[in-house]
Structure 1
């Protein structure tokens, strides 16, 4: 059954994780649609930037039940982007934010009488090693990776509570840390390599296309349903990094045997624990870069009327232009 369409102009829309890459882009897009945007962020230093974007900042940790209830008390619509995103860390920290925080947001939205909640997930819930073309309803059982397991658990919770779930692909574009800034920095310092033939599959989603999908889900998404948003054309990690390297006159990452990379990543993790800082790449990262399979975006196309507008070469061009403007290379 098609959900009732919601107009955004003049509505009070709260966005958690408003200071982040995706959350910030959603805030800007909502403002341009005429919505009254409440930006919920845990870091007080983000307040000035949010105000400059025409967003009303409210400082609250989604893991703090009382604080998030107060922050959402007058929200008519909610987009929940806040998450604990790390390659490694304690399960307790991931659970506190990704599962507990999602429960708090859903409870607060219900108490406020919010009409619709859009929960932002990730294609990682399909796992690093899935085969074939995953349908929107597919879930992986626990795989022992805290981020994957807690995002999958938060998806299940959000679906049971009637939220609309958006699963982005690998989100790149100006401002992306994992898919732009970090790989550029690693390539510039020659610390990035891809496993085996570099033919693991990336599921690219340009940030503007993702935001368009999120706003469509907010307008007309069916409660409890899931929409996977990516451009539908898988590209090898070797090709993606190669295109990015060529656009920035960098040397593309070498291809090395996966067992060698895995062993090196394990050693880096050991050194990182001694220093108390994350490694440049851990074993989960190596496994991820050898990921197989894709995911269906059919429901987003058919039910939301979404389609990507930025093809990968153009997205790479815009990304490289932004990198140069930021002086990152």
Structure 2
């Protein structure tokens, strides 16, 4: 297949592109800079210039494609509403292009939904609907495209997609620990975060492109939930810092924007995904990556 990938040079996308190429697909990646375009070409993919704010560029990339894998997202926590509007507009654009074709539309979503300790399964729909919801209610919108002749599939990634070179949540938490001089967790630290290695997540995307049915939700989750106090302990050990508890009402003050996320208890299962796709994570666990030291260099 000719696969149009947004976010192709990003953290997850840069691992997805070689997985798709190895599976025999032709990959066209959205590139918003010369550096991104060069990286895509070096990986063996074709570069399509544009960005997710440019709906014409998204339309032009999707029209000749046999499938769309939408991984790009504006991670701007200072304007979450604006990021949500951008996401919704992008998904609406892909829906208009792919309608009636039975072509796949795989799109990034997340498992950090409930936050109350309920184990999230693939059967659970997203509670976020409408343009003003988180991520623009994109998952609910896109899965509805199954009724429009589109094989839409939600790729629900764990909040921690880790590995060498990661600049996401784990790197931010390590940075906060360096700045504050302590590795902290919130409350008693029993709240849990799911995790998956970057390359395991990429393999799941390639398998979902081949096997996931229309309207399905796939969970890129290797570890159902790692306790926050254990994460803080590993960061403290890696940086040689004491490990402390921060009161819930002080989480935002201590951690900044990530405090609200690191307070959530969001365990998630991937049993259905593993059975349906034949997906078995094989790469390092979160603690193995933390012990390897790349987050502390």
The reply to whether TM is greater than 0.5 is yes
Report the Cα offset of residue 223 of structure 1: 0.8
1:60 and 1:106 map into 2 onto residues whose CA distance is 18
Q: Which residue of 1 aligns with 2:105?
A: 117
CA gap 1:58/1:88 in 2 versus in 1, 3 angstroms: same
1:160 is matched with which residue: 144, 150, 175? 144
User: Are 2:118 and 1:132 aligned?
Assistant: yes
Partner SS for 1:281 = helix
- Answer yes or no: is 1:256 the counterpart of 2:256: no
C-alpha contact (below 8 Å) 2:185/2:232 kept by paired residues: no
Alpha-carbon spacing, 1:31–1:252, altered in 2? closer, same or farther (3 Å):
farther
* C-alpha distance in structure 1 between counterparts of 2:242 and 2:93, whole Å: 43
Among candidates 310, 314, 318, match of residue 288 of structure 2? 314
Alignment of 1:30-49 (within 5 A): 30-49=20-39
Task: Name the TM-score, length of structure 2 as normaliser.
Answer: 0.86
Larger relative strand fraction: 2
What is the TM-score normalised by the length of structure 1? 0.78
Quick check: 2:111–2:156 contact (8 Å CA) kept in 1? yes
Q: 2:170 & 2:138 partners in 1: Cα distance?
A: 26
Kindly indicate whether the alpha-carbon contact (under 8 Å) linking 2:234 and 2:291 is maintained by their aligned counterparts in 1.
Answer: no
Counterpart-to-counterpart distance in 2, 1:142 and 1:119: 15
Distance in 2 between residues matched to 1:303 and 1:196, nearest whole Å: 37
Q: Per-residue deviation at 1:252?
A: 5.2
SS at match of 1:287: helix
Q: Does 1:19 align with 2:19?
A: no
**Correspondences of 1:65-104 after superposition (within 5 Å):** 65-89=55-79, 91=81, 93-104=82-93
For 2:35 and 2:17, locate their aligned partners in 1 and report how far apart those are by CA, in whole Å: 17
- Residues 36, 214 of structure 1: alpha-carbon distance in 2 compared, 3 angstrom cutoff: same
Which one of 232, 237, 240 corresponds to residue 228 of structure 2? 237
Give the CA deviation at 1:105. 2.4
